[in-house]
Structure 1
Amino acid sequence: MNSSGSLNNCRHVSAVNPAISYIITSVQRSGTHLLCSILRSTGIAASPEEHFLCKPGETWEKRWGAPSRLAYVQNVLRQKTTANGVFGTVVMWSYFERMLQMLQEIPAYKNLNGAQLLAAVFRNPKYIWMRRRNHVEQAVSWAMACQTGIWSQKAEKKTHPRAIPKFDFKVIDEWCNRIAAHDDGWANYFRENQIEPLILFYEDVVTSHRIAAERILEFLELPLPPDLEIPPPAVEKQANQISHEWAACYLKLKKAKTDRLARILRRMRA
């Protein structure tokens, strides 16, 4: 069966074909919770979240009690496509490959790969790449979330941490390296598939929620409501004095290690 035939069959299989769909691609701790809150508040850009999060050894149908994997995908599209025909979802690089594998295991999609597969499932989605310029602050946020168990904090409901976070240079350094690798993964995916995503940076979104919303609505070719108001987000910014101190401490130690390595190399070359 050729690719074109496979694509047509997949479109027929989908229970719901959203008129407009988009995928927010990202790496953890880039501000996707904030961005999704902003998009929901517009009332016309769907309700994006990580519908296809999958952990090793886990399947969507077992986790959510769906009769089959295809049924789960169809249910997500049916329930999360809004009245104006818009569907949005969020995908992290850490499980992107696993997500593609699980979709390919659905017989209707078995002959499709990568971007073509997602084009069939989500009806030619547009891509929004949510990034963060400061990888150190991102790594600190990731390290703290892993320890506290708090990945997002709602303004009206405080969550108590499961543990008091402790600074660990090696852990933060590992997250910095992982963030860079995952960012490269998305960059390669877009380049290899000739995709031009809308690129947003957390630092800019925090500065102006409205501008972020306007850019996305324009990108999705959704008419801007004349009375659009972006209320305060439902999620709170989690950066605090401790996280700032951790970032400063990491940078200081990183510089010391880099300088020490440079001195060793100079002595070896002398």
Structure 2
Amino acid sequence: MAATPRSGSTLLCETLRASGVAGRPEEPFQRLRDSGLSHQPRDYFRGVDDPELLALLPERRPGAPIDADDARERLTRALAEDTTANGVFATKLMWGYLPDFLAGIRAITGDDGDDLATLRSAFGRDLRFVQVRRRDKVAQAVSLWRAIQTQQWRDEGSTRPARVPGPDSAFRDAAPTEAEPVYHHGAIAHLRDLLAAGEAAWTAWFADHGIAPVRVVVYEQLVPALGPTVRELLGELGIDDPPAEGFDRPRMQRQSNGTSAAWRERFLAEEAAGG
């Protein structure tokens, strides 16, 4: 599952997981080699020197670099834990983690081929790719900016709680904060461009490697038609086993609210007025 943050990939992965026949797509490889941690708030703003913006973000916490043994253990565990009984394995990766993930695999296998060869050395040759995209980049950036500030990456109404953060966690390393998120035009503009670049990079990566994703899932089409979209995707993936009853009922609550909509409209108005 190739995605960018706040694109609807978690909703899609939760639904595929609930089917019981499409692997258990989690995020075991969402870590940076230099820290062993997932992206921290300031990692999204590397190269940004706006003191007002940076004052809204905590300092970057230290971590421990990932070595070959750690990468091997994580890969072994992921293959064991995220494979369903029918032999289907699934995982999700954001563009921002791909280089670090590939470097970890190369450290394990010694493979020096191209990216696709490296992935096949880890997962086998029968790889299928699904890309998740979101058209409204401003809404996506607003969602990401709020999540960065609150460290709440999924709604508490989800029927399956997130894994508890820790040394073996695949999820965010910081607990949600009580801080009220603050609007910042520059932060949203930066994240909009970052997300657009990440999505374009996935598309270019597929083209460079001669890969046609099984499907490009678009957020704006997925949300109103979750069941039909996922059922069609299962068919396109060649997964014929009957899924669990009622698997395609929404298992997460949308985090978007009136504040998100107001921020989006404010941002667009400011852009129209020249920032």
TM-score by length of 1: 0.79
Give distance in 1, aligned partners of 2:180 and 2:22. Answer: 37
Give distance in 2, aligned partners of 1:82 and 1:66. Answer: 26
Secondary structure in 2 matching 1:253? helix
**Is the 1:129–1:199 Cα contact (8 Å) retained in structure 2?**
yes
Q: Cα RMSD between the aligned structures?
A: 2.5
Is 1:191–2:191 an aligned residue pair?
A: no
Matches within 5 A, 1:223-238: 223=240, 225=242, 228-238=245-255
Shift of residue 35, structure 1, vs aligned partner = 0.7
Give distance in 2, aligned partners of 1:227 and 1:146. Answer: 34
Give 2:24's aligned residue.
47
Aligned length: 233
**Is the 2:3–2:94 Cα contact (8 Å) retained in structure 1?**
yes
Secondary structure in 2 matching 1:257? coil
Structure 1 unaligned residues grouped into runs of 5+: 1-23, 259-270
Find 1:97's aligned residue among 96, 99, 115. 99
Shift of residue 127, structure 1, vs aligned partner = 0.4
Structure 2 unaligned residues grouped into runs of 5+: 38-63, 162-174
Larger Rg: 1
Going from structure 1 to structure 2, the CA distance change for 1:47 and 1:227 (only over 3 Å counts) comes to closer
Moved more, 158-167 or 63-72: 63-72
Secondary structure in 1 matching 2:91? strand
Find 1:131's aligned residue among 133, 139, 143. 133
Going from structure 1 to structure 2, the CA distance change for 1:192 and 1:230 (only over 3 Å counts) comes to same
Which structure: greater strand fraction?
1
Give distance in 2, aligned partners of 1:227 and 1:151. Answer: 26
Give distance in 2, aligned partners of 1:77 and 1:33. Answer: 19
Give distance in 2, aligned partners of 1:109 and 1:127. Answer: 24
Give distance in 2, aligned partners of 1:257 and 1:56. Answer: 39
Matches within 5 A, 1:5-154: 24-59=1-36, 68-106=70-108, 108-124=109-125, 125-154=127-156
Shift of residue 105, structure 1, vs aligned partner = 1.4
Which structure: greater helix fraction?
1
Secondary structure in 2 matching 1:55? coil
Moved more, 196-205 or 65-74: 65-74
Give distance in 2, aligned partners of 1:120 and 1:56. Answer: 20
Shift of residue 64, structure 1, vs aligned partner = 9.9
Q: Relative contact order: is structure 1 or structure 2 higher (C-alpha 8 Å, sep ≥ 6)? A: 2
TM-score by length of 2: 0.78
**Is the 2:18–2:244 Cα contact (8 Å) retained in structure 1?**
no
Give 1:170's aligned residue.
186
Is 1:206–2:220 an aligned residue pair?
A: no
Give 2:47's aligned residue.
none
